[in-house]
Structure 1
Amino acid sequence: MRFSPRWFYLVAPGLGALAGLLYGSIFPVGPLLGSAIRGAIIGTPILLYERRLLWPRMRERVRHLATPLFLLATVALYIAMIVVGNALASTVLNRLFRFMYSERNAMLMSQSGLLYALAISALVVFVFRVRDLIGPGVFANLLIGRYHRPISEERIFLFLDVTGSTRFADRHGDQAAQAYLGQVFNALALPVSHARGSIDDYIGDMALVTWTIERGIRDAACLRCVFDFAARLAAESEAWTQRFGQVPEFRAALHCGSVVTAEVGLERHKIAYFGDVVNTTARLESLSKSLGVHVLVSADLLNRIGPLPPDLIAEDLGAHSLRGRDAPLAVAAIRKRD
């Protein structure tokens, strides 16, 4: 489930309070109200941190670490937030609710309380790391078993190809090219998240991003994602040039239609899409290269989106024949208004 930032400021204290109530039920250390308040105060900053609403830049740096270092750094941050949160909770309970906590022992925390908080924190770290590794959308859908049985649905597909990566590898070597592509795809994650999309796969120097049709066409989110990504690369151009000697460039192709979505695999589960739409989007990405277009969109998708936002312009490029399709497909180039 995805909450807007505004709603999550209310959801986070509620989830923290539930964890506190659970602790108060297991370890009868006082009134359940006190446990709930303590849980809300301790849990809220941790949950806000994980939702990029608290210290987002620090969280992004930590997420780039190798998994063992990521776990150590995250648990250390959690411990710091738990200790400070516990001190604040004790002070609030003492001054506002006249509970038994004194200012002298406000910084103290019981051994069971610390172990419980660390256990919950470790569980949260593990869940979010697995979520990051396989993708938020895929993780949620696998968890609830949405595609355990094949489902026919309409989706939007974006094939985003990082141009010039082969030349970069020839000049700097494969390891440098991997680091370069890794940073490019890291930069793509936030625009996709803001557009409520899902990065479902990486194929060489290309990323496959998908949306349900409702999310993707709302406020032209699928197109916004592409141009937000371009804007982020431009804003960080100096850092890219200093580290890699160039600013990444890309081509994007978007199409929509009906697909069959299902879980595949036994030892390694994956959500896969079956249908002509995926192949057609791949053909459009190749067509964008031959046409010299940075962002190419099918007329089918443009018709579903409706009127474009004022800052975007569509240039009709006519109908083109694509390998594997009987009928030509009308396409358009999308660009920012000058």
Structure 2
Amino acid sequence: MRFRPPWFYVVAPSLGALAGLVYGSIFEVGPLTGAAIRGAIIGTPIMLYERRLLAPALRERVRSLATPLFLLATVAIYVAMIIVGNAAASTVLNRLFRFMYSERNAMLMTDTGLLYALCISALVVFVFRVRDLIGPGVFANLLIGRYHRPISEERIFLFLDVTGSTRFADRYGDREAQAYLGQVFNALALPVSQTRGSIDDYIGDLALVTWTMERGTRDAACLRCVFDFAARLAAESEAWRRRFGQVPEFRAALHCGPVVTAEIGLERHKIAYFGDVVNTTARLEALSKTLGVHVLVSADLLRRLGPLPADLVAEDLGAHALRGREEPMTVASVRRRAPVTASVAPIQSQVVAG
């Protein structure tokens, strides 16, 4: 599921046009209209690349590099896009608007233009790397100060625990276990991003993912994330076996409810969630192990999701007590009607209603 808000297709070229206007104003290199058009044509491919609409496999591979290599590789990719985009933009401006004396001169990039492109590229890459390090959602919210004052809101929480990681570490060692978990969480990033969620924290072999109610309930996006993650692991099973000798498995729990969200910390800022819903989700994750199922979801969330998508089916499993709660929670399982592939057995996902 690749949801793109309509405004994105306006913002992408607009940001490029703005960068072009800034360049044209500072260096006085011809009509500002031409500078804006040039900036839009040059900047749009970069925005498409960052939004995984252009060369997504290359972007994912580059993002997995160490920060110094990531910076160098991304700047190189940006500069290549800028040079090619400049040639395309100059050709358009020359043939349609005659802003240059000759098409050949129009396609050449000045030293000033190249230096400007390098500086802008380095700045953008640095911002995107910081965003990746703390999470896109957290970065945006910290930047605009949304949670500088505590806010009461409803959110969906997913606790996803990679099972068997302790046995893996005992067998292969801590370094290999770290590489294993790193690759697992890398694989989780795309389904979370595609469902507009946010990976807010990693705790050992557990990932904490959240959604706003509006985003997480649209087409059961929070459940889609779990099933898409399982599908990705199944589709890449041979690669996992070659690299690590096994295909990752996981347990997960989903719950929703009111929380107080606030920005905490002074030297290290973090967005934290306060409320019973977080503890309840942790209890559900523990319950999933007791029941021997892979995914648990609370009844509140199941009701908020409404009718499940046609390829998902729910089955009531009865009521179960949770530590710290007076009332029991009713358990249901949710599974896909068809296997992910013909040769690889799908992960049987379960959902708790309670």
Q: TM-score range by the shorter chain?
A: over 0.9
Amino acid at match of 1:55: A
Shift of 1:6: 6.0
Unaligned stretches of 5+ residues in structure 2: 339-354
Q: What residue number does 2:199 align with?
A: 199
After TM superposition, the structure 1 stretch with the greater mean CA deviation from structure 2, 90-99 or 229-238, is 90-99
> Residue 224 in 1 paired to residue 224 in 2?
yes
Confirm or deny that 1:287 pairs with 2:300.
no
How far apart, CA to CA, are the structure 2 residues paired with 1:87 and 1:194?
Answer: 33
For 2:43 and 2:306, the matched residues in 1 are separated by 42
Match of 1:39 in 2: 39
Number of the residue aligned with 2:313: 313
Determine if contact 2:100/2:106 at 8 Å carries over to the other structure.
Answer: no
Q: Deviation digits for residues 20-68 of structure 1, max 9, x if unmatched?
A: 0111111111101110111111111111111111111001110010000
Cα distance change of structure 1 residues 154 and 5 upon mapping to structure 2, 3 Å threshold:
closer
Q: How does 1:39-188 map to 2 (within 5 A)?
A: 39-188=39-188
Secondary structure of 1:221's counterpart equals: helix
User: In the aligned structure 2, how far is the partner of 1:336 from the partner of 1:108?
Assistant: 55
Instruction: Name the counterpart of 2:296.
Output: 296
* 1:287 partner letter: L
Q: Where in structure 1 are there 5+ consecutive unaligned residues?
A: none
Q: Which residue of 2 is the match for residue 213 of structure 1? A: 213
Query: Identity percentage over the alignment?
Result: 86
Give the Cα–Cα distance (whole angstroms) in 2 for the partners of residues 162 and 277 of structure 1. 21
Provide the C-alpha distance between the structure 1 equivalents of 2:302 and 2:126, rounded to a whole number of angstroms: 40
SS where residue 262 of structure 1 aligns?
Answer: strand
Give the AA of the match of 1:95: R
Provide Cα deviations, 1:220-252, integer angstroms capped at 9, x if missing partner. 110011000000000111111110111000111
Matches of 1:7 and 1:274 in 2, distance apart? 32
Question: What's the secondary structure of 1:104's corresponding residue?
Answer: helix
CA shift at 1:11, angstroms? Answer: 2.6
Are residues 1:261 and 2:261 paired? yes
1:334 maps to which residue?
Answer: 334
After superposition, give the CA deviation of every residue in 1:124-147 in whole Å (9 maximum; x if it has no partner): 101111111100110011011110
Using the TM superposition, give the Cα deviation of residue 256 of structure 1 relative to its aligned residue in structure 2, in angstroms: 0.7
User: Aligned partners of 1:210, 1:333: CA distance in 2, in Å?
Assistant: 21
Instruction: State the AA in 2 paired with 1:18.
Output: L
Question: Is the 8 Å Cα contact of residues 155 and 213 (structure 1) preserved in structure 2?
Answer: yes
Q: Report the AA paired with residue 247 of structure 1.
A: V
- Distance in 1 (CA, whole Å) between partners of 2:194 and 2:68 is 28
Q: Bigger CA drift: 326-335 or 101-110?
A: 101-110
Contact kept in structure 2, 1:260 and 1:275, CA below 8 Å = yes
- For the residues of structure 2 that align with 1:128 and 1:208, how far apart are their CA atoms? 21
Shift of 1:105: 2.1
Distance 1:107 1:68 in 2: 31
Q: Note the alpha carbon deviations across 1:156-182, whole angstroms, 9 max, x for none.
A: 100001011111001000000000000
| Matched length | 337
C-alpha distance after superposition, 1:63-106 (max 9, x if no partner) = 01000000011111111111111111211111111112412223
Corresponding residue for 1:21? 21
Query: 2:179 is aligned with what amino acid?
Result: A
* Partner Cα distance (2:230, 2:5) in 1: 23
TM-score w.r.t. length of structure 1: 0.97
> Which residue does 2:30 correspond to in 1?
30
SS class of match (2:103) = coil
RMSD, aligned CA? 1.4
Give 1:310's aligned amino acid. A
After superposing on structure 2, the runs of 4+ consecutive aligned residues of structure 1 that deviate more than 6 Å are none
Pair 311,191 (structure 1): closer, same or farther in 2 beyond 3 Å: same
Task: Name the CA distance, whole Å, in 2 between partners of 1:136 and 1:331.
Answer: 33
Query: What is the distance in 2 between the residues matched to 1:319 and 1:197?
Result: 29
C-alpha distance in 1, partners of 2:3/2:38?
Answer: 23
Distance across 2 between alignment mates of 1:95 and 1:213:
50
The change in CA–CA distance for 1:274 and 1:101 in structure 2 (over 3 A counts) is farther
Flag the 1:249–1:303 CA change in 2: closer, same or farther, 3 A. Answer: same
Deviates more, 1:96-105 or 1:163-172: 96-105
Range with greater deviation from structure 2 (189-198 or 326-335): 326-335
Aligned mates of 1:298, 1:90 — CA distance in 2: 57
Which amino acid counterpart does residue 219 of structure 1 have in structure 2? D
Q: Offset at 1:7?
A: 4.9
